[in-house]
Structure 1
């Protein structure tokens, strides 16, 4: 246990201390991976859910002749939650779209699918809005990139630290200061951050 505490102290002091990611490095990563940092296309959809193909086809025909989809949803849909909102289901991406509803991904805004069958019944889905895919700005991606680079830097430093521990040349440390620090941790019941590290074998 005492040896593990000492290893953790060494790890925190020699590996994690002073890890910072310069803004220039964050910007460089963003510029290099700009094509990967795109928010996907999103589509806002509404639905009418009914019990039979005939009913769905009749409602779609009423929409074709000019009746508002939202009003038809309020009057006829069996989904009470979306019906109260005029059929609105909110925004979805291609990754979030169930396979049986894939037709909505190729429709223009305002269009309505042909009747689609699911375990719940028969659906008519209208695409009400389309938000195109767009690249994330540097400000939007900044914190996520910094965290990614921070983790990469920690892994690299840990690997280098373990490599040095295995070399013949001993690591020069203030042994007396470490002993005092570990003793104070044991008295208080606290412990430094735990990290899986290689045993210290001078």
Structure 2
């Protein structure tokens, strides 16, 4: 059995960083929590242990500093301190697992990524030691997975590529403005250029009874006109409608409800459950709670249409729209940085796609797999679509 050694040299540098020391440092780390460890163990035989371990232990280049060393007060769950560990401190060894080391930099970088509330779990020396033990467990699993060749498993490699992809995209996003950072002049300019999008037309809620024949529909229409109340309408829906969802056990005022729609021609008011003929008919009804005077045919079915709600038109002000515009513009800037990175990579790396091979892929809807058809030509010299996209 290999001997596990805890790095004692760290004690002379910043004792509060040691897993066995007293509390008094802001600990931040994308920790391998118990649920994550359980997940790793469950997926081990699927060949993904190594990829998960790399994701957890890779850490970040920005590691936590030691506020307690310079005499300032620190909080175990507060924000990350701005003082970074020196290269010498980060390289100090906390544990050795075979030929692999877990350094102070690994430990604090992992803590750095932890959610603030998760960090609260590691205020005590005992819990910080548990965290190190969990890191060791992950390293052991990763070593065993590598020994068994799981790192060559396509799923493990796919997950590792996804991890590396996310790391690169996160790097590309650095410096992107937050919604609050977007200049007001830019927000106002966007608002003025898209004012039509902030003018909401009158919208209406529609309810229907759907039947198979015009004769049945005429009977329902006559009954609806005779007793137009919501309760009577609900009974008609439940007893006559072919729409099982409309007949579900819902409040009477929602029986037969198809949702809210905008006037015909307004793309924002599309509702796949509402046929175009029904949509047009509900905007011809004048009174709230009224029923259209005629049966409405559509798609081989016949509808009796009732108006259950009117929402007056509304034009949103700049103040009402500002927040959503800021979020949109910030997201656009973030995506632009990602797109710029990908475009640059595509310029520097030759990408080849075998369209004929791609065309042979058949998706099996009965499972999550996609396999080539038996006629797929063997062409080992051509990179696969997955490899070409790397």
Q: TM-score range by the shorter chain?
A: 0.5 to 0.7
Deviation at 1:153, TM superposition (A): 6.7
Shift of 1:119: 3.1
Match for residue 82 of structure 1? 246
TM-score calculated relative to the size of structure 2: 0.33
> Relative contact order (alpha carbons < 8 A, sep ≥ 6): 1 or 2 greater?
1
How many residue pairs match? The answer is 156
**1:47-58 alignment to 2 at 5 Å?**
47-58=208-219
| Residue aligning to 1:169 | none
Residue number in structure 2 paired with 1:100? 277
TM-aligned CA distance change 1:18 to 1:51, over 3 Å: closer
Q: Which has the higher strand share?
A: 1
Q: In the alignment, does 2:343 pair up with 1:196?
A: yes
Which 5+ residue runs of structure 1 have no aligned equivalent?
Answer: 1-7, 158-193
RMSD of equivalent CA atoms: 3.6
Name the structure 2 match of 1:72. 236
TM-score after normalising by structure 1: 0.59
What CA distance in whole angstroms lies between the structure 1 residues aligned with 2:290 and 2:208? Answer: 12
> Of the two, which has the highest radius of gyration?
2
Kept after mapping to 1: 8 A contact 2:234/2:256: yes
Per the alignment, in what secondary structure is the counterpart of residue 103 of structure 1?
helix
Which aligned pairs between 1:1-202 and structure 2 lie closer than 5 A? 17=175, 19=177, 20-30=181-191, 33-68=194-229, 69-84=233-248, 85=250, 86-94=255-263, 95-96=270-271, 97-101=274-278, 102-108=280-286, 109-113=288-292, 114-119=294-299, 121-150=301-330, 194-197=341-344
Does the 8 Å contact 1:43/1:129 carry over to 2? yes
Structure 2: tracts of 5 or more residues without a match? 1-167, 264-269, 349-390
Secondary structure, aligned partner of 1:81: coil
